[in-house]
Amino acid sequence: MSVTGKAVDLSLLRRIFTYIKPYRKRFFISASITILAAFISPIRPWLIKYTFDNYIQTPDVGMLGKMTILLVGLLFLEGIIQFFDSFLANWIGQHIIKDLRVNLYKHITNLNLKYFDRTPIGTLITRAISDMETIGDIFSDGLMVIIGDILKLLVIITVMFFINAQLTWISLATIPVLLISTYIFKNAIKSSFQEVRTQVARLNTFVQEHITGMNIVQIFNREDKELEKFVEINEKHKLANIRSILAYSIFFPIVEILSSASLALLVWWGGSGVLKGYTTIGDLMAFILYINMLFRPIRMLADRINTLQMGMVSSERVFKVLDTEASMVNQGTILAEKIHGNVDFKEVWFAYNEEEWVLKGISFHVNKGEMVALVGATGAGKSSIINLLNRFYEYNKGTISIDGIDIRDYELNSLRQQLALVLQDVFLFSDTVANNITLNNPDISREQVIEASKAIGAHEFISQLPGAYDYNVMERGGTLSLGQRQLISFIRAYVYNPQILILDEATSSIDTESEHIIQQAIDKLTVNRTSIVIAHRLATIQKADRIIVMDHGQIIEMGNHQELLKKNGQYRKLFELQFKENVPA
């Protein structure tokens, strides 16, 4: 569905207009006001002509006063109409982009992680913010304004012919040149606008990525090089804007010249007509006003059409995201409210990209309340297992089940409510400690949060923060230490009371002192819960009921800590690397 080369893509426009349905009444009022404005605007020049011809050339002070009052009243009426026309069009536009933005955001939150792996975040930000504003312009400064302007032009030209056909033809003499200029301008400005939108997306992507990764830029002293890249992208954005400015700078003077030429022809021809008696001063005055009324909308028409086209381009981009079928399939009907937590992987194969297998025939079982640990080198497939269990990705072959039921048969949201995932890289929002724990869930009370914090062993440090649970941790929890952020993530998992707990490298980035507190929190969290733990620090998993050793997407060893040490296999080698002095003979 592309708008390239088209003034309007009707199928795309129809889709945009489906969002008008909740605001149909206001839309019809707005359309009616636009039509009314088109018919009222030509009345004022005609009244001026009538006044000149009847009450000035043949003096009548009384009627002149009445006509002046009528003209002032008409001006006020036009002002009121223009206010409501502009306000309603913008009101509708803002409500539509609000609804569309909510739909887009909701859709984005339901996309699977594979989509985010290949889509720059900055591009999605552009779609949700900048492109939405451009879509709003379709209503506030695009389609209805274009229709109103065209209707106004038709009414004005009709009235002009009715008053004086000869003066009308003289007034319209430069219009063909203006239309040709408008067409050339429209194409030029469309091309530059499209380039501007592309460069805006590139800027958003670059800035978002580099601000997020600023520590890497500074650690490796790459500020100057990354600045050079930014300058290059910014230069292209500037040049795209300058091309549009150049087009405007050429087009608007041409319009003014043509308008002046038309006015000069009118004065020459009309002045001769007044002197020779075949036209009136009133006609001449009216046509001078009509020329201004003609050229203003024609001059703006190209701009309006490009506004409409850019709104269509933005709509296409937004709908492309909305039409992306990368959402996790949620056809399950079984609610996971009363699961016990028995987890089964049977011959599971998985690839992020086709045939590039990350997991190869993985099979294991976790009983309710057991702790199973996954160990192995980076890239062995450990995180892929928990991604599949949470249904962030779809597995290719095999079966993953909980309590004997395929996880695809569970309703997705209810399934995820029974699983809690604590990651190595804890993400906290720029919000209070309490809200980062509850994620603004109204069903979790402050008392529950405090009780959970005490159970995890974090209440003391939170109480010492300015504002305690109302302390704002700032973006990504930057005002807290790694250990403190990790503790908050444990409290978050605790208050949601999951049946299955998943810990992904939860202690790998913290100091020894914090690790002791975190280990106590883990012991508390895992009581009576099925737990799957990924850990590089083997000291944290020695109590596990079963340890699964992975290598290149396959299970190479399985057993408890003592059993695996006796096997003298890969696990023993890993253990010896970390605890040389404590390895049993």
* Cα 318–chain centre separation: 8
Average pLDDT over residues 324-349: 81
Residue 521: closest CA among 492, 557, 563: 492
Alpha-carbon Rg for the chain in angstroms = 35
Domain extents in the chain: 10-322, 343-582
Q: Which helix (H) or strand (E) holds 75?
A: helix 61-109
Q: What one-letter code names the amino acid at 34? A: T
pLDDT at 8 exceeding the cut of 70: no
Confidence of residue 3 (pLDDT cuts 50, 70, 90): very low
- 515 — pLDDT class (breaks 50, 70, 90): low
Query: What would the mean pLDDT of 317-324 be, rounded to a whole number?
Result: 82
Strands (E), 403-469: 405-406, 419-422
Question: Alpha-carbon distance 102 to 139, whole Å?
Answer: 18
Residues in Cβ contact with 48 at an 8 Å cutoff, skipping those fewer than 6 apart: 71, 282, 285, 286, 289
CA distance 527 to 135: 52
- Which of residues 141 and 67 earns the better pLDDT score? 67
State yes or no: pLDDT of 2 exceeds 50: no
Q: Which CATH number fits domain 10-322: 1.20.1560.10, 3.40.630.30, 3.30.2090.10, 3.90.1200.10?
A: 1.20.1560.10
> What pLDDT, on the 0 to 100 scale, is given for residue 143?
75
| Assigned CATH for 343-582 | 3.40.50.300
Q: What are phi and psi of 121, to 5 degrees?
A: -65, -40
109-145 pLDDT, tens per residue?
777 777 777 777 777 777 887 788 788 777 777 677 8
Q: How much is the pLDDT for 327?
A: 63
- Examine the pLDDT at 462 and tell me if it is beyond 80: yes
**Measured in Å, how far apart are the chain's first and last C-alpha atoms?**
70
Q: CB count, 10 Å around CB of 116?
A: 14
Q: Please compute the mean of the pLDDT values over residues 93-102 and round it to a whole number.
A: 86
- Of the pLDDT bands very low, low, confident and very high (cuts 50, 70, 90), residue 490 is confident
Q: Given a cut of 60, is residue 449 above it in pLDDT?
A: yes
Name 349's Cβ contacts closer than 8 Å, sequence gap at least 6. Answer: 357, 359, 360, 361, 362, 395, 396, 397, 398
Mean of pLDDT values over 371-397:
85
Packed helices 446-456 and 482-495: angle between N→C axes, nearest 10 degrees: 120
- Torsion-angle region of 559 (φ positive above 0: left; ψ -120 to 50: alpha; else: beta): left
Read off the pLDDT of each residue in 63-73 and give the average, rounded to a whole number.
88
Backbone angles phi, psi at 536, to 5 degrees: -90, -30
Tokens of 373: 């640990």
Under 8 Å between Cβ of 500 and 445? no
Mean pLDDT of 365-370: 88
- For residue range 214-248, what is the model confidence (pLDDT) as tens digits? 777 777 677 787 888 888 888 888 888 888 788 87
